[in-house]
Each structure stands twice: as structure tokens, then as C-alpha cells.
Amino acid sequence: MCDTANAADLLHWYDAHARVLPWRISPAAVNVAGTPPDPYRVWLSEVMLQQTTVASVKSYFERFTTLWPTVGDLAAAEDSQVMGEWAGLGYYARARNLLKCARVVAGDYNGAFPDTREALQNLPGIGPYTAAAIAAIAFDRSEVVVDGNVERVMARIHDIHTPLPAAKPALTQAAAKLTPKKRPGDYAQAVMDLGATICTPKSPACGICPWMKACKARARGTASELPRKTPKSPKPTRLGIAYVVLRDDGAFLLERRPDKGLLGGMLGWPGSDWSEAPSPSPPIKAEWTLLAEEVRHTFTHFHLRLQITIALVNTDAQPLTGEFLPKPQFRPSELPTVMRKVYDLAHGALKNMP
């Protein structure tokens, strides 16, 4: 190991310790060393992994690639099915952009992803990180891949105390100096793996780090403090009401949320606007029962406390908003998590009604 950080030392560590992840190589090429990864699978995994842990992504990736083995299959899918399969993974704009991107690639690129960082970054949902990652991993291009892990590793190696996001240019420059011409994809994944398993946010395992001797923060004892970040403002608590209506034929009253904004494009229960004080406005004429227990859920920038009211109606009832989804077409797993929490509470109460 050298006194200055270099790609060779890290790749040596990676070759011995790399976690085997489902998207590192296509199934048909398992055990065939050197086979380049399928760009579709690299793209899909990278989008799913945006701000999301490997553990959370795994089952979604398997499900998506089983349902839609190629980008053409995904492009031809129904929007509602894709949104339903994405439910629970969060950041639903990713799913909408996933479909947009698949349809551009299938339509404008004849089903073949472009192979340069610049062209990739012009596709929906592909930003600086994802474009560089796909170019490096799927197309063997020496692009500078910078995610949260890389930022942390670079900040520590160079003991950079400038808080993010102001430090981003310096961290990117540091990452660029280390990016190799050979095996750029493996190198990118190696730095991220290092950040995920050794150079962790809290109590990093510096003693077994392949870049230990080169790390300035370790020498100065500042590793666990880096990278610094500008403090975030506290989350306010918002209030709301949700209406769960069960028709006597088993259908639930649901509504598709608008594409833009919170939980955009997802199914949900009718209810008050959470940005305002919760004024009751039931979506249908019925006798309502207010549940004693409320749903609590935390989003990125606010806490939510949701009152639940439930009602049973007959098939003559006409909703003011939303549509009744027939029993066989309703799967709670297609709801975003806060809406599924509402269902879980309401379902238990509805079972005890007449």
C-alpha cells in the first residue's frame, strides 16, 4: 500500500471483498468473467439506489427485472402497474421518470441506451451521478462517479472541513484525480463499497481500510466528523383527515394523485390537503366513524398526523371525488406507505362493523 491514495490499492481490496449484488452482472453471464453488465439492469439498479439502501432495493430490482426483462418491456408497461410495483420504495418521481426514460430509449434509441455520460444525462431521471455511474459500469468509460459515499471518502482522505454542498466541487476534483482509465466501473463501485462498509458515517473501521495510510482525517482523528454539512431545519408537524370508504361489493374508494407533488402519480385515499388545516370534506354521502387511533408518518420535510374516518356504503352511492376500485383489482401493496398504514388501521376497524 502506498502513502497516497490510488485506484490500484482500492481495486485490490475490492477484488477480495466485493459484495455480490444482483445487478453487477446479468444472469446469462453469471460466472463469465469480464462480461459487461446489461445497461438496462445497471440503469434500473442505479435509479432505484438513488437515496435508497441496497437492502431496500434488492426485492424491487428482482421483481422489476422479472416482470420486465428488457427496457422495451418496461416501456410497454401500463403506468399504473409500474407505479404500483414501485409503491413503498419512495421518491415516486423516480418511477415516473423511469417510464419516461424507458420510452425514450425504446422509441428514440431503438432500445439501446446511449453509451456516453453526456447523452445519458439528457435522459429523464438521470442526473450527474447516475449518468457517470452507467457510463463507467455499463460502458467502461472513465467517468467521475460522485455519490454520498464518494463525498465522505474524499472529505476524509483530504481532511476537507468545508461543509456540503459548498464542498462539492473540491470533492469532485479529488475524486477525478483518483479515477483510473482502466476498470472505471469496478473502481466506482469499489469506492462506494468502501464508504458503505468501512468508511461509514459513524465509527469508521479505519484499521482495516485499504487507504488507511493515505487518509489525512484518520491521522488527525477527524474522520468521524467528516464530511461536514450545513444544518437542516426541523420538521414541522402537519395534520390531515383520510376517508376510507368500503362499498358492500368489496370495492374501496381511491383516487389517483396528480403527477406533480407529494406521492405524485400514486393511489391514495381521498382526504384533506395536508398543507392546510384539516377541514372535513367527505368524498361521498355516508355515515362516518372516526377511528380513535391516528396514523403517524414522517416524510422528508414534515411529520404527518392523519385522522381516519371510515364508512360503509351501498352500490347506489355516487362519490364526489375518486373512483371505486373493484375488490379483485385492489392490492394494499400498491399503495405508498402512508396510505397502506391508513388501510391497515381502517381494515381492522371495518372487519368489526356490520
Partner DNA sequence: AAGTCGGGGAG
Partner DNA sequence: CTCCCAGACTT
Which residues are part of the catalytic machinery? Answer: 46
Q: Does residue 234 bind DNA (CB under 7 A)?
A: yes
Contacts of 200 by beta carbon, 8 Å cutoff, 6+ apart: none
Positions 126 through 185 that interact with DNA (CB under 7 A): 126-131, 133, 147-149, 151-152, 165-166
Q: How far is the CB of 214 from DNA (least distance, A)?
A: 20
> Mapping DSSP to helix (H, G, I), strand (E, B) and coil, where does residue 49 land?
coil
What would the x/- binding string for DNA be over residues 289 to 318, using CB under 7 A? --------xxxxx-x---------------
Burial (0-12, 13-18, 19+ Cβ within 10 Å), 308? buried
* Contact with DNA (CB under 7 A) among 336, 342, 345, 350: 336
Cα 77 from Cα 224, distance rounded (Å): 45
> Mapping DSSP to helix (H, G, I), strand (E, B) and coil, where does residue 240 land?
strand
Tell me, what amino acid is at 138? A
Q: Does residue 52 bind DNA (CB under 7 A)?
A: yes
User: Which region holds residue 209: left if phi is over 0, alpha if psi is between -120 and 50, else beta?
Assistant: beta
Q: How far is the CB of 316 from DNA (least distance, A)?
A: 33
Q: Does residue 195 bind DNA (CB under 7 A)?
A: yes
Q: How far is the CB of 70 from DNA (least distance, A)?
A: 21
Cα 123 from Cα 101, distance rounded (Å): 6
Q: Does residue 288 bind DNA (CB under 7 A)?
A: no
Among the listed residues 274, 287, 269, 286, the one whose alpha carbon sits nearest the alpha carbon of residue 330:
269
Peptide bond into 227 cis (omega under 30): yes
Q: How far is the CB of 127 from DNA (least distance, A)?
A: 2
* Contact with DNA (CB under 7 A) among 15, 27, 35, 51: 51
Q: Does residue 267 bind DNA (CB under 7 A)?
A: no
Query: Which residues sit at the interface with DNA, rule CB under 7 A?
Result: 21, 45-46, 49-56, 87-93, 97, 124-131, 133, 147-149, 151-152, 165-166, 189, 192-193, 195-196, 200-203, 229-235, 261-264, 297-301, 303, 336-338
